[in-house]
Amino acid sequence: MKNNAACAATVQKIRKEFIKLPHVIRITASLDRMYAYQCCNEEAEHLMLVGESGVGKSTLLSRYAAEHPPIEHEEFTEVPVLYVVLGPSPTPKTLAHTILRVLGDPKWNTGREVELTARLVFLIKQCRVRLVIVDEANHLIDRGGEKTLHTAADWIKRLVDATRVSFVLAGVPRITRLLDTNDQLRERFREVVRIDRLSVASESAEFEFRNVLVTFKRYLQDLPAIDISGTAITRLFAFATDGRLRDIRRLLVRAVELAYAQPDPRLTDRVLAQAFRTVIYPDAPDERNPFHKRFDEMPLVKGDEPFAPVER
């Protein structure tokens, strides 16, 4: 019973604790600056946030929105930060539906595109929105061809101009195609911030990666464990997770669960190898498992391996 409680507490920390990496601090400062903007006679500042899947974009942005919750007034609801996550293959009309629904419009799915857009502009002003965050915005370019891409980019540009509040568009690297499509939109989103995966490619990058693992090591609390922040193990984590924070958490959560399932709980390289085979690369051959002694020290980017290149 004691082990169950310790396991649950450790897993909770690994999953939920927010790590303030250097880029998180920089991006939060940019969001604060945009949030503070209040001037009807000047153009608002806008930001595009780009990063591979699993590097922590959505966690950062949703957390920022949660720190600025809606404020109920007697006659209206103020929404300081409007956070919207796009689903697959949206059109300008369905994007308007999504934002109107988040704003609480009871008729969010009623009307033509032009009517929806006008209502959206009105509500953004009426609800005193100061920052609009559109996450997974790369879905705007996943549907149709060049004409659809031009239409989406132009609609966003018109919405940005009409509302005169700051916008953040976030997504995987292909999101930048929106800017390539529309010169005027590119003029408005001059600031493009990229979140890189953790790596060991340089001394400074490795230092940051090790610091992240030091933080996770603290979360292990009383669980006996190998030094997961050591130089050699950090390099193995780089192979095993491709430097993606989501996969680091996933790997460690399963490793902790497996460790506590043993009669003598202990997090070892063998436990990490088993966790890797379970949640990162099911049934990985020993030579392709970074925590196995037979690992061939080659990136896991071939064919059906977990980090094989896909269109970004």
End position of a domain, from candidates 128, 163, 195:
195
> Residue 206 pLDDT more than 70?
yes
Q: Are residues 209 and 191 in the same domain?
A: no
Angle at 34 between CA 33 and CA 37, to 5 degrees: 90
Shared domain for 94 and 175, answered yes or no, is yes
Instruction: Give the dihedral of Cα atoms 15, 20, 25, 31; nearest 10 deg.
Output: 20
Does residue 90 have a pLDDT over 90? no
The domain of 131 spans: 37-195
Q: Determine the angle formed by the axes of helices 245-260 and 231-241, rounding to 10 degrees.
A: 110
Indicate the number of domains in the chain.
2
The span from the CA of 232 to the CA of 289, in Å, is: 15
pLDDT of 43 reads 81
What is the H or E stretch that residue 48 is in? Answer: strand 47-51
Instruction: Give the CATH number, domain containing residue 188.
Output: 3.40.50.300
What is the side-by-side order of every strand in the sheet holding 166-171?
81-85, 131-135, 166-171, 47-51, 191-195
Please tell me whether residues 44 and 185 are part of one structural domain: yes
Choice among 30-39, 94-103, 130-139, 261-270 with the minimum mean pLDDT: 30-39
Prediction pTM value:
0.91
Q: Quick one: CA torsion of 208, 302, 246, 96, rounded to 10 degrees?
A: 120
Would the pLDDT of 1 be above 60?
no
Model confidence pLDDT, tens digit, residues 117-175: 999 999 999 999 999 999 999 988 876 667 778 888 899 999 999 999 999 999 999 99
Helix, coil or strand: residue 225: strand
Residue 2: pLDDT over 80: no
Whether residues 183 and 211 fall in one domain: no
